[in-house]
Every structure is written in structure tokens, then in C-alpha cells.
Structure 1
């Protein structure tokens, strides 16, 4: 499908983060590039020695990645984006169009009061942008346009004084206060007028059942006040008046809750020591001990509809109509009359102290019809309109409060700059995918706002902020700001990126000092991807050195077999893996961000270890974090992946919309982003991953089609198409690959000995139809945890095999009994017919970790080789062990691969001799072991 050409000068800076390739700016002097431009175009950072391709340049073929992506694309097509926009519109006081906010972290009722709301919308925008770039389907561009248009309206509304949201009422129009808008009605100080008697009358339509939300609240503070609450702690209306705080309240309490989303009439009369509470014309409470009146309260400073003098109380959510305040106690008959008509049409007439019909359809002022001229004003609890450029689903207050915090408290402030990053990144991706100027304007304005806020703070304040766990977390905001700077070229944007430097962490990692123990993992991983981008924009080596060293502190020292990291979101001591395994290991966001960092570092130095890690985490944790079933409401992605025995993955954590579900949506729409890279000068093409795909390399005028069912297939076929082109094809040789890695071109073997953990180059002038076949035999191997070598995880090539078993203790497996001369442990497993990559061992099913099922799994097992067995022949000799846990069989098979049986027997003989000499094995048992090894039959 044809794609729209961009008018922008683009470097797709998200190439170092997620998916994109070419983003630049006239301000930086880089040439204009269309979204579909090739990776080898000369408009990426000069520091990159290789360049990625765009998502539109690489098409996924059939296979496991396409299947997982299809599920996520269906979710992206079908989910109502108005639900995502609900919290933004509510915060701005706009109509939410009847949409219900998503659950979990994204609504007002989620964890910590929804203090992270808005982050998920940014993830969703990125997913849509990636989906559009990958497929060209107009539905994704249309959804982006809807969201960007709505966010533009939201920002404009936040810059204005609040305006009435007029809705249909009981008799005419009503004023709605959307939940989450923080709006209330401010009445003049003279509203009660010191009257000795009083009637409060109002039609209300509550929209939420929060306790203590006020309909009326007149007071100075929490000592002297008069209020009518829609619900008390028991859920029923309550009126109270006091001059001595809660302990001195004289009150009236209703008998039943007000129904939600229905109009109810409430009235309170107070005169001559008697107070009465009416609900829909019926007296539900009466007291003859109500000695306090407005006259006893005097003139009060805070006279509000919808807001409480107690700061912790919620703002009323719902609609107001026909609010009247009388200086006398209406009779029961008069209260009854107000059930069927407006006060103006009733015998009561309008309230003589104040009267608001709420017929206004615009503006922020409500006319008082009492004759006293006490017009009311619509206000926000957080004060004046927001500063220019501000865009969020909550007020600026979280950002402001963070600046004075000295200790973390996510119930007060929960990572506002993290949320800002997600929104910023989503807008940038939307702009790069659709060329919508509004998205760029929103992104640029948000950064302008952050710069105006942060640039005036002392450095010590910034360092304290960024060091706070959770509250000060800012995610990948630095890389996103650098990406914006590459578009705008504006100095303040680059200056903003540097304001997030957490110097003590950067300096320690630049010095290669490991300080990660005890740090929150996902708070810090994206910092280093940002540092790589800062290096690109500034040339400062300290940033790149810190990122490189940090990566080495995580891989492999804090890495689980599946590629994930963190335990309970935090890092523990270096090389403690077995000791950290639990139900909350391997947070999915951590794997997502480690992939981004690995990718960014590879652009600067082509260490194959980065792509080895990329394959490990992508083919195992990332694939396995997505459930293999459709769902219209949830992306079905894990938060944590527990690695304890018998763990069942939770694909709907915390009611949905967590950070990991957000990154999971992104991961599932960019699986192809690192399959191919091009050398900066166009002289070589890196094939990093073996994945069914088709690359269009526009600069060379060629296509590369990779046909494979990898990892079910142990190899791949690459077919060149298009014209003649000279370049070197660099094929990754995984670090786990054995001597069987072979390459043929048009059926002829390519000479050379590929080394594991390297790239194997094939240089030639390629022609249309040239075919390259890569043979990549898998071996079954174990990886031992460094702190408990007997606790191991099982790999077949790149695939982590897990046991499916409900037991909650570590299973015990032996694997040497049928090991082949190559050292391959696979002969000890029994294949499951018709199910590739599925095996049984001792009656237990083994399956790829990547399968997104809800089966109980064992990612780690206890290695148990009680006797010395060769080729299925049991010697009857106990398998001895050294003090460090290394067994005799471990030491023998460490010499694999063996050229033949004689070489294996020689290894057995020499090892036995050493163990006998060390007193770990008797001579007689040693002879038996050698004899058994000599007589056994082995697989290759």
C-alpha cells in the first residue's frame, strides 16, 4: 500500500529507541527524507557506524512474530481510543463523550489514585504509529488523527479558564463537572449573608460514589463551616454545621444513597433550632438541636459548590441545576413543589440569598438571579490555567510538588516525567508516521514547558528529584527529547535533555563502578539509552562510556536465561541469579528497554554480544510475554514473569494498562526493527536475526527476502532481488552456534570457518535471484546460575525450553545419559510428534518459553546426575562432586565436542585419573567408569 510522503526533514531518531529510521531537521543541515527512506540515507547521527531500516522497509513474513503481531494489530484496530482520551478530556473540563476510562493505572480509581494516568495513551499512539508504518493501513492513521486532534483541544482547554460543560438537566440546561476535572463553583463571600435561618436547595446528578464529595461547602477552614455532602462514609447524604471542627458538628444524616447518574433533589432547612434534610421532597432526617445558623458562622471565605474545605476530600463529580439559597426555612409543601418545577415558577420564587439556574452554555460565569448580583465563577482546584505547552491527564501539581519532595511517595507524586515521556514519544512517533504538524507542535510545546520549569531549578534540586525512587522516575524522556532536537535543532531542547543528568549514576558507570545493587531497574535502564542519544547530539564520550559499561553490569551478571532482569522491580547483587528468583522476576519493561539499549549501542560498535542478547530476550521473554489469544479490551501482556517452579503467567496484571502492557503493545508492533542494519557507507548489510521477512534496501535498489520458520527451522534462506549491487552480507553467527554453521550461495559452499559469536561475511556483486542458505544446527545446552550451578535452565539453540508441570518445587533432571559426542544433550529428550520444539523428559513436557500459554512452567530445574551414565549405559558408580558442585560428568563433558568415541574415552580416562588422584573417586570405580565409557554407543 502506498504511504504518504513526508514534507519534513526527518531522521527517524526512534531508530535508536523503537522502530524508526530517518529523522532530521533543516536546522541541523540534514537532507529531507520520506518515511519510507532507506537506512543508508546520509541523515542519521554521524556517530552511528551502522544504520537501521524503517518499519516500512521490512515486512514480516509468516511465522511466530507475524502471529503475535496479528493479535496486537486486531487490538489496535478495535479498541475505542475515546476511552484513552477520557482522562485527558476530563482533566481539561471537556466532555468525555460518555467514554469510560480504561481500568488499572489509567483511570482515576487505579493504584495511587491514578497518578500515572496518561502514560498508556502515549504507548497506544506509538503502537498505532508503528502499526501504520508497518502495514500502511489507513485505519491506524485515522486513529492517530483522532487522538492528536483531541489532545490539541485538551491543551488549548488547559490554557484557558475553565468553561461550563452544558448538558441536559432536570428542567432545562445543567452544568456538568466531569470527574477528574478538578472543577468547582466559587460563590462570593456574602452568599449566606449572616442569615438567622436558611434553606439550601439543589438538583444534582452524582456521577461517582466517592465519600465526602460536597454539594455545598461554606467555610473558612476545617474548623468553621457548613456543608452538605452527597455521601458520607456510609454512602448517604449528610449536612453539618460547626464552629469548632468535626467534633462540634451539628448534623443531619440521610437514610439511603443518592442514585448515580440520576437527578435527585436535596434540600436542607435550618431555623429556630430545627434542621431538616429532604431528599426528593421527603424529609429523611430532622433534629431539634441545631442551634448554629449562618449568623453564628459570620462571613466565610470559601463558599463552594462541589469542593470541600478538607483538602483530601474529592471534588464532586456530576451535574448541578437549580441551586437556590433562601434566608428562611421553606415549608415541607414548598419543598414538595420544587420537585416538579423550577423555583422561578414555584410559589417560593428564586432564592433570595443566591439563585443559579445553570442555563449558561458557555463561559465560566454563572448568573445569580437573586437580585444580589452574586455571580458565581467556575474554577479549578489547582488554580490558574496551565503554563504554555503543558499537556497531561492530570494537573501540573504533581510536577510542582516533586520539586520540593525529599522522599519518595508515589501516592502523592508518581513519576510525572515518566508519563510526560510516554506522551512525548507517542506524539513524536505519530508525527513521524503521519506528518501531522499538530503532533509535532504538541511535542515541541511539551518540551518548551519542561524547559521553562526545569531550567530555573538549582542543580541540587534536580539531582535530588531524579534520585527519588518512582516519584522521580523519568523513563526514556532524554532520548525522546534528543529525537525532538534532531527535528527542531533548537538549543533549548538539547539543554533540556541535559537537565535530566543523574550525575552520580553517570559518573559511577563511566568509571565502570557497579552501583546497581538496590536500584530500581526500569527506572534506570532507559536513562542509558538517553545517554547514548545525548552522546550522538553532543559528542560527549562520558555518556557513551557510561552506557556501555552499564550494559555489561546487567548482561550477564543480572540476567535471567530468558533475557529479563530485575527481581521485584529492583536489582540485587552482581551474579546473584538463583538467589533472586521469585514470582516477581523479569519485569517485561526491563527487557523492552534492554533491547533498545542493546540496539543503540550496536549503532556505535558492532559487538555481536549486543545482538546475541537481542535474540535471547526477543525470542524468549518478549515473545513469551504476549498471550496467544485475542482480546478486544486488553493487550494481554505480562508485567512480571515469575520464574519460580510452577508459575502461571498473568497476562492481565493490575487490571490492565500497566507500563509493561504499554511497552508490550509497542514490542508486538516492531518485531522487525532489528532484523537488518546497513553499514553507514552502504558497503555491508547486517543480518542480525533469522526471521521470515522482506527488506527493501532502496539505496542499493535491491530486496532481500528471508524465508524461514526459525526457530522451528534450524536455518534460513535469503533471496536477493532487484538489480546488481556490490556489498558484503554479514550473517550473524550466534554465540551458541556450534561448528555446524554453514553458508552456501547458489548451492555452493562459502569457504571459511565461522566463529561463534561473530559475523560471517560474504562479499560479492549480488544479482537478482542469488540465493544464500544459512544452516544453523541447534544443540541442547544448559546455562547454570552463577550462585548455584546445579540450578540450570535449558536451551535448544536460541529457544529456552521450560517444563510444563504444576509442581511448586524445582524438578530434578538428568541430561548426560544419552549425550552425543558433540556435547549435544538433545538425545536425552524425546520429541513430541507433530509439535516442533516440544519434547518430554522423564514424562514431563518441555516447550518453548515463547508460547504465550497459561500453563504452569518451570524455567529453572535442579540438575541431578546421581550415577555415571554414558550412552544410556549405567556404570552403577555414584557421580562424585567437588566442593564447588562440579561433578565428574560435568568435567568430562566440558571437553565436548569430541572428534570421535576414542577422543571421548581419552577424556574420561584423564579425568578419572585426576579424580582418583584427588581422592574423590576410588580406583576400582574409576576403572568401571572408563570401561562403561568404552563400551557405550553414542549419538554424533
Structure 2
């Protein structure tokens, strides 16, 4: 009996059937292949919203300067090297984007994808040709890389000692495969080669002839102490008979190596001079017997590096050359010496094309250039590393990022960058590369059992795939290929999705940034398939993070992982709030808002954008680094690190993207054009071509407590202007249109809608007074963060213990705590309290900072008057002053005094406060003066 189709198989079959009839899967109610009909609102393009002067434009200018000046050939180096192409002497950026970084650079290529996206966004935002030109350069190079990977490796010719030589680019994983019989089986041998190493890796082989790791003969450029080594064995490493050199070979220079074995003596020559001798060598080629592999540049030990450098004049003789004969090899090719070319094999390596090397010995034993990993499984493969990263993941059962480090995460960054480049420039090559990547991934993943996929995606780090589902859905919109939509479903991590769809919180212990993008992908899958489970899971997930696992600045995670929900104070440390997490939570919030216009999504967006994301970019330019944080440590006195892990981390990649798309969510339009949402207050100009108008927002927000919007264009147009009322705007939200007040009292955490026919010159003024307030940690009310309107204020102090601050001393009748602080002249949003300076979190400085502090109100103080009465507290930590000010705002001083009386009477009745002390509190409250 045929088993029923699984949900995944059914969806794949449905998508493929749609393709067969020329259709593509679309959201319920949609009329075409695109996702937009499912959206209730739609965003504007980056080219439709222009940033005005302000904090966002200032931060962006720094990143644009970096983007203009950075040599993209450095990014392309790892791709070209992987394909065996000339890298032009470019030096990879380093850190995670190179071969020498963490985990041997197994994540290389990811940063290039980020850079493509940054350039595309910069091009869209500014229109500058320099960004388009860089994109075309990169797309052209990546096209050449893919073409090179599709074919057999080809020789890369370079200047040699006597003519042309063959270069092995580091990272190419290329080696020379010699036929059997090149070693011979006699009692004596001479091996000779000119080498120019370009890297100082230990154990890279000039040659390695053997059967695995038991019987072999090798010549290494460097042993563990950095000097050349020759060894032969028939019993593995423990039985090696070896000869070690006395000095390292120079990097980037030609050196001649030769080894002779005869009559029990082995001699190692360097540049014609015998440098070491072993007189107890009993093993000869004859003792090895017939060997399976004869390699130049590759080791039989898989952990050893492939030789990086150039080879010329490799010869093997069936006798031991004399010292005079070896010396002759220094000045001319072997064919021109008294020894003549090797009688067993002789390669000049003078070829300039193809993958074959001719044997000049007369025996016809031509050699072949090969890759250690063979070649791509599909012609669409494009990466900066061998496909083995993807292959090994399929058999992994546990985490080991040193062996396999998130290959599909890297694929996502590249795919996303290609799609963005195509949108920004119209370059068809970029879409072709992206489509090929989709085809290749489908060819790999569609053949795997569902259980294998579930295991893969559940492995920490190795199985991380970033926002690949979202990117694949976008790819499907371009190509219409059913395989691409089917591919998106192959990344489902069912146990997490099902739990979130059921509103079951299973996030504790999960790697945060590995899983946040899963849900952005699910929203796009809902767009493409109409499957409600996807959207429900994403909505529920968002609420499991905001606010249960959210720090005041909008960030989440500690040490990259989530802890139990509602634990904030208990997780604060030096590795909080990975910057990538904020980037992805913003994307998710934005995506959810397209479907459900819950103001909470945009309240969160403002919080994270105006605090963590802005504050993650240092306020200075740098030619080499984007200067973006990895973690935002929230521990007391933490100093932000803007060049983490040597640069080129995931967070620096997303940081480059964030800094070139600050305007992406300032405005949204209703899908039917009936309304314009103003989500963020930011100096900007919207060009709403559909309506034939512009909307210019003039403000210094958040230094200014409001904004002015002016309608431009010709004619008149009707729509509802919807202005976000921030959840923190408890001091009022006042709107005028052409000087006339808009009726009503807006509710914080909502939108004010003004429907009318708008004309050129219409002016809308918004005023939203800020108040200084605190936000308490969910698990410890005494640990608090300080906010002024949307801005988190941090104390700049080098102390490494939590600062203890009292804020009620001069609180206003409105409940505003600002009167307790002193403004710093000439420095907007800077204040002092008890000699400590407070400044906006978004300022990208390296000052030690305190984002949280301990609330300390030891005595009851009103309007600066000290009652001399200790401030009592209940068992939950709530103090008498907390209870009083919880009722703010007060319409008058009398209302405040009445509240004080009520609280005092209650606390006296509960035995928490003496009657005499209570009366002293009431008298002090009545005597004090208060700001409004």
C-alpha cells in the first residue's frame, strides 16, 4: 500500500504541478505570482524615500564612505581562489572572510553577500554610479567564478625560475595527480622540485605518494617546526624514516628542494646544498611496493593543508644524483644539465592553458590538475569554499562548527546579495547566478529524506541557514520556477514551527540568530502559499521575544542564546544583544506589520532602530572596517567593541545593511492606496508617485519632540494620513493641520487617522512631549533602564558595579522624572545626575556605559524636600514612593497630596509605616513645590 504524502511532499507536488501548467503558487486571494496582494500595507522603495539631515543620515554617510572606498577585489579573492582563478594579488579581508580566521574561514563568502546588499541599497538610496559600478564588477567576477567551477580546473601560469610555472592559489584545493609508476620500484631515487610557497602553513606537501596514511613517501615544505621534511614509512607516522631541514624556506621566493636515497643514506638538499642526512634509511621505493596515489601539493592526511604556491621543474630519477649534479640544477633546467631530465618522470610545468602537464621523460606519464573535492554536483553551484561543506552537513549528527560552519547561512547571504544587486542595477547576470544557486540547492536537498533535513536544521551553527527561505521566496517571484518554491519548504524546522504555531514557548536554550530569520521566512511562505500555520507561528514567536526576552534597547539574546522568558536582570553580561538579532527582529516586525497593522510592531521597530541599531555603529569613518558591534554588552561600565573578532563578522555584515536602509520603514502605504502610514519620525522626503505627491518630514527628532509634514506635488488627492502615536507618548500627542487642531485625544500605542483631500502646501504638525521614565527589568524591578521619549539614556561611568540612582526627588506632577536631572549646555539629550553624565545610547562612542542601574530611594523626598523618613518597601520590592508616583500624572498639587494621604494610610494600616512618619511624609508633600 502506498503511504500518504507528507505535508512537505504534498506542498512540493502542488508547487511542481503549478509550474507544469504555467502557474505559480500565490497567497489565498492573490491573482498573480507576486506576494503583494496578501499585504494590507506595502513599503516604499529606498529610492522613494530620501533621508534628510539628522542622526540617520550622519551614520549612513560614514558607511557610504566605507562602501565607496573599499576594494571589492578583496572580497572576491576567496571566490576566485576557490575556483583556481588569478586573485590579482588581492588580500582577503581577514577575520571570518578568509582562510585564516575562525574555523579555517569556513564561513567565507558570507561577507561578500552582505557587501552586495549594502552596495545595492546604497545605489537605490543615493543613485550614485560608483555603487552600481562596484556591483557590476562583483557580478562579473562571480559569473567568471561559477563558469570556472563548472569546468575542470585549469592551470594558472605564473613567472617561474626559468620560464613559466604553475601556480596553486591558496584556497583552490587544487593538486597535481600523477600516474602510477612515476616513483619506480628501485633501490635508489632522486626527487627534485622548484617551489615558491606563498603561505607558511605547516605540513603542506610538495609531494605525497602513498596508500592512505600507512605506506607513503612525502616531501613537505614545512614540518611542525617550520623546516622542510622528507619522510618514508610502511607503518604510518610512528615508523617514519625522515630527514629534516635546518631553516624555513622563504615565503614568496623560489627555492630548490632535492632528496636522494641510496645505500641506506638519505640526503636533503636546499638550493643545491646538502643540509641534512640520515644514514640509517632502510626504506626505499622498492620497499613501498605499488602505491595508489601520487600527488603533488596534496597530503594523504586530510587535515593537512593543500600546498599554496608555485611549482616548476619536477623530476624523479631512478638513481641518487651526486652533489655536483644536484648543484647543476640551480642554474638551468634539468634537461640542460649533465643529469638530464628525470628518467622516471619530468614535468617542466610550463603550460599556460588546460589541465594537463606533459611528461618530458619519454615515458608519457602526463599529469592532471584536479580539485581535492572533485567538482560541483550541479552547474549552479557558487561559493567561496568547496561543496564539501554542504556535503558533510548531510551526515552530521552533532555540532562542530570547526568542520562545518553554516554553509546554507553563507549561501543565503550570497543569494540575497545577488537578488538585491539585480533589483538595483537590472543586471541579468545577477539573477542568472541567483537562479542557478536555487537550482543547485534544490538538486541537493530535494533528494534527502525529511528526517535528514530536520536533523540538519536542528544542529547548532552548522545547520544555521539565516534568511534563506525569505530569499528563495523572492527568487521564486522572479523566476516562477516551482522548484524554487518547493525548495523554500525544504528548510522547515517542524518542531520549532509547530510549537510556535501552538503558542508553546520552546525558545529557552536556542541560538537566537539561528532561529529569528526562520520566522521572517515563514511570513514570506504565507505570502506564497497562504498557509495560516506559517503566519500564526511567526506572530506567536514575536510575542515570545517582545517583551519577555527583550532588553530595553530592543536587543535580545545573551552569549547568542536565549534563556528562560521574563529573565532580564538574570542574564545581563558582556555578551548581550547580538546585533544581528536586532537586525532580524526589525525585519520580522516589518513583515508582520504588512499583514497586521498592530502598532506594537512599529513601537518595537522604533525602540530597536533608534537605540541598538543606531548605537551599534561607531561615529567615525574607517576605510577597512564598517565599525559595527557584535554584542552590545549591558554589564556595568561596558565599552562597546566596534571591531569584533578582527572584523567581517555576521553582525558587521548586517550592520552594513542596516546603515544603508534606515528609511525603509518610515512610511508605508495601504495596499489599495487609501492611506499613508507614518511609522517613524525621521527627517525624510517621500515621493509617492502613485498619488503624484511628495511628503516632506522636517524634524530633528529625537532631539526635537515632534515633526512637521508638508505635502508637495500638483493637484489634490484624497487619502487618510495615519500618524503613529508611540506607546511611550503618555504626555500627549497633539496634531494640527494647517494650524487647526485635530480633535480627539489619541491613545498611546495607536495611529491617529486624518482623512481628507490633501493639496500642495498642506502642513501637518505633530507635537509629542517627552517624559523621562524608567523601564524595570521583568525579573528585578530594582534594576531599571532610563528613557526619555524613545531614547535610552546611558550613564557614562567606568564603574563596574551597578550605579545606584534616585529619581523621585524632583519628579513633576506629570510624573516626569526629568526635573531630577540637569541638562548639559550645548549637548542635546545629555544630562547629569549626581555628577554622572547621561547620554543617548545611539551615540556610537567608546565610553564605558551603564544601560541599567539600581534604583535607590532611601528616603521619601518630594520636590527636593527630604522628609527624613525612610522609604519603606513591600516584599515585592515596591516602595512607598513607587506607589505614590504610580498614579501620575496628577492634575494638581492637591491631587498629588490626596494620593500621598491614601498611600500613607494604607501603608500605616499594613504596619509598613509608623503613623508619625506617615504624617511627616504628608507634610513634606504639601510643603514642596513641583514642576508641571
Length-normalised TM-score, structure 2: 0.96
Once the two structures are TM-superposed, the CA of residue 250 in structure 1 deviates from its matched residue by: 1.1
Corresponding residue of 2:7: none
Instruction: Give, in whole Å, the separation in 1 of the partners of 2:860 and 2:558.
Output: 36
Instruction: Give, in whole Å, the separation in 2 of the partners of 1:890 and 1:849.
Output: 26
For 1:756-767, list aligned pairs within 5 A: 756-767=748-759
Contact 2:731-2:771 within 8 A present in 1 as well? no
Change (3 A) 1:207 1:661: same
Once the two structures are TM-superposed, the CA of residue 384 in structure 1 deviates from its matched residue by: 3.7
Corresponding residue of 2:115: 124
Instruction: Give, in whole Å, the separation in 2 of the partners of 1:386 and 1:710.
Output: 53
Corresponding residue of 2:862: 870
Change (3 A) 1:43 1:398: closer
Change (3 A) 1:386 1:455: closer
Once the two structures are TM-superposed, the CA of residue 29 in structure 1 deviates from its matched residue by: 11
Counterpart selection for 2:489 from 495, 498, 502: 498
Instruction: Give, in whole Å, the separation in 2 of the partners of 1:348 and 1:690.
Output: 82
Partner of 2:96, secondary structure, is helix
Corresponding residue of 2:799: 807
Change (3 A) 1:238 1:43: closer
Corresponding residue of 1:879: 871
Partner of 1:439, secondary structure, is helix
Corresponding residue of 1:157: 148
Q: Deviations over 1:733-766 (max 9, x none)?
A: 0000024210111111111111100001111111
Corresponding residue of 1:18: none
Corresponding residue of 1:848: 840
Contact 1:132-1:433 within 8 A present in 2 as well? yes
Contact 1:161-1:385 within 8 A present in 2 as well? no
Contact 1:224-1:244 within 8 A present in 2 as well? yes
Q: Does 1:185 align with 2:176?
A: yes
For 1:224-373, list aligned pairs within 5 A: 224-373=215-364
Q: Does 1:750 align with 2:742?
A: yes
Once the two structures are TM-superposed, the CA of residue 27 in structure 1 deviates from its matched residue by: 6.4
CA RMSD of aligned residues (A): 1.2
Q: Does 1:204 align with 2:206?
A: no
Q: Does 1:433 align with 2:427?
A: no
Once the two structures are TM-superposed, the CA of residue 151 in structure 1 deviates from its matched residue by: 0.6
Q: Deviations over 1:691-725 (max 9, x none)?
A: 00000000000000001110001111111001211
Partner of 1:355, secondary structure, is strand
Counterpart selection for 2:571 from 567, 573, 580: 580
Once the two structures are TM-superposed, the CA of residue 385 in structure 1 deviates from its matched residue by: 4.5
Corresponding residue of 1:817: 809
Contact 1:367-1:376 within 8 A present in 2 as well? yes
Once the two structures are TM-superposed, the CA of residue 510 in structure 1 deviates from its matched residue by: 0.6
Once the two structures are TM-superposed, the CA of residue 678 in structure 1 deviates from its matched residue by: 0.3
Partner of 1:514, secondary structure, is coil
Instruction: Give, in whole Å, the separation in 2 of the partners of 1:416 and 1:748.
Output: 58
Counterpart selection for 2:543 from 552, 567, 575: 552
For 1:358-757, list aligned pairs within 5 A: 358-723=349-714, 724-757=716-749
Instruction: Give, in whole Å, the separation in 2 of the partners of 1:863 and 1:232.
Output: 61
Corresponding residue of 2:8: none
Unaligned stretches of 5+ residues in structure 2: 1-21, 27-31
Contact 2:149-2:375 within 8 A present in 1 as well? no
Contact 1:160-1:385 within 8 A present in 2 as well? no
Change (3 A) 1:510 1:523: same
Corresponding residue of 1:934: 926
Instruction: Give, in whole Å, the separation in 2 of the partners of 1:809 and 1:751.
Output: 49
Once the two structures are TM-superposed, the CA of residue 43 in structure 1 deviates from its matched residue by: 6.3
Once the two structures are TM-superposed, the CA of residue 44 in structure 1 deviates from its matched residue by: 4.8
Counterpart selection for 1:888 from 880, 884, 895: 880
Q: Deviations over 1:189-211 (max 9, x none)?
A: 11011021111111000011111
Instruction: Give, in whole Å, the separation in 2 of the partners of 1:152 and 1:317.
Output: 24
Partner of 1:104, secondary structure, is coil
Length-normalised TM-score, structure 1: 0.95
Once the two structures are TM-superposed, the CA of residue 244 in structure 1 deviates from its matched residue by: 1.3
Instruction: Give, in whole Å, the separation in 1 of the partners of 2:465 and 2:279.
Output: 57
Q: Does 1:827 align with 2:819?
A: yes
Q: Deviations over 1:446-505 (max 9, x none)?
A: 011111111111111111111111111111000000001111111111100011111111
Partner of 1:773, secondary structure, is strand
Once the two structures are TM-superposed, the CA of residue 164 in structure 1 deviates from its matched residue by: 0.4
Partner of 2:38, secondary structure, is coil
Once the two structures are TM-superposed, the CA of residue 45 in structure 1 deviates from its matched residue by: 2.0
Contact 1:141-1:434 within 8 A present in 2 as well? yes
Q: Does 1:776 align with 2:768?
A: yes
Instruction: Give, in whole Å, the separation in 2 of the partners of 1:693 and 1:29.
Output: 37
Once the two structures are TM-superposed, the CA of residue 246 in structure 1 deviates from its matched residue by: 1.4
Partner of 2:135, secondary structure, is helix
Instruction: Give, in whole Å, the separation in 2 of the partners of 1:103 and 1:469.
Output: 24
Instruction: Give, in whole Å, the separation in 1 of the partners of 2:254 and 2:149.
Output: 29
Instruction: Give, in whole Å, the separation in 1 of the partners of 2:817 and 2:34.
Output: 48
Instruction: Give, in whole Å, the separation in 2 of the partners of 1:377 and 1:29.
Output: 47
Once the two structures are TM-superposed, the CA of residue 310 in structure 1 deviates from its matched residue by: 1.1
Instruction: Give, in whole Å, the separation in 1 of the partners of 2:247 and 2:731.
Output: 78
Partner of 2:903, secondary structure, is helix
Instruction: Give, in whole Å, the separation in 1 of the partners of 2:99 and 2:278.
Output: 37
Contact 1:159-1:386 within 8 A present in 2 as well? no
Q: Does 1:222 align with 2:213?
A: yes
Partner of 2:861, secondary structure, is strand
Instruction: Give, in whole Å, the separation in 2 of the partners of 1:434 and 1:195.
Output: 64
Contact 2:731-2:768 within 8 A present in 1 as well? no
Once the two structures are TM-superposed, the CA of residue 373 in structure 1 deviates from its matched residue by: 0.6
Contact 1:48-1:603 within 8 A present in 2 as well? yes
Instruction: Give, in whole Å, the separation in 1 of the partners of 2:727 and 2:288.
Output: 80
Instruction: Give, in whole Å, the separation in 2 of the partners of 1:836 and 1:595.
Output: 27
**Segments of 4+ moved more than 6 angstroms:** none
Contact 2:216-2:234 within 8 A present in 1 as well? yes
Instruction: Give, in whole Å, the separation in 2 of the partners of 1:226 and 1:51.
Output: 66
Contact 1:158-1:386 within 8 A present in 2 as well? no
Instruction: Give, in whole Å, the separation in 1 of the partners of 2:402 and 2:541.
Output: 30
Corresponding residue of 1:787: 779
Which is further off, 831-840 or 738-747?
738-747
Instruction: Give, in whole Å, the separation in 2 of the partners of 1:706 and 1:259.
Output: 62
The count of corresponding residues between Structure 1 and Structure 2 is: 905
Change (3 A) 1:847 1:42: farther
Once the two structures are TM-superposed, the CA of residue 890 in structure 1 deviates from its matched residue by: 0.3
Contact 1:427-1:442 within 8 A present in 2 as well? yes
Instruction: Give, in whole Å, the separation in 2 of the partners of 1:387 and 1:338.
Output: 45
Instruction: Give, in whole Å, the separation in 1 of the partners of 2:208 and 2:44.
Output: 60
Instruction: Give, in whole Å, the separation in 1 of the partners of 2:94 and 2:279.
Output: 46
Instruction: Give, in whole Å, the separation in 1 of the partners of 2:106 and 2:211.
Output: 29
Instruction: Give, in whole Å, the separation in 1 of the partners of 2:321 and 2:377.
Output: 43
Q: Deviations over 1:105-128 (max 9, x none)?
A: 111011111111000000000000
Q: Deviations over 1:814-850 (max 9, x none)?
A: 0000000000000000000000000001100000000
Once the two structures are TM-superposed, the CA of residue 42 in structure 1 deviates from its matched residue by: 12
Partner of 1:603, secondary structure, is helix
Partner of 1:677, secondary structure, is strand
Partner of 1:76, secondary structure, is helix
For 1:136-175, list aligned pairs within 5 A: 136-175=127-166
Contact 2:258-2:268 within 8 A present in 1 as well? yes
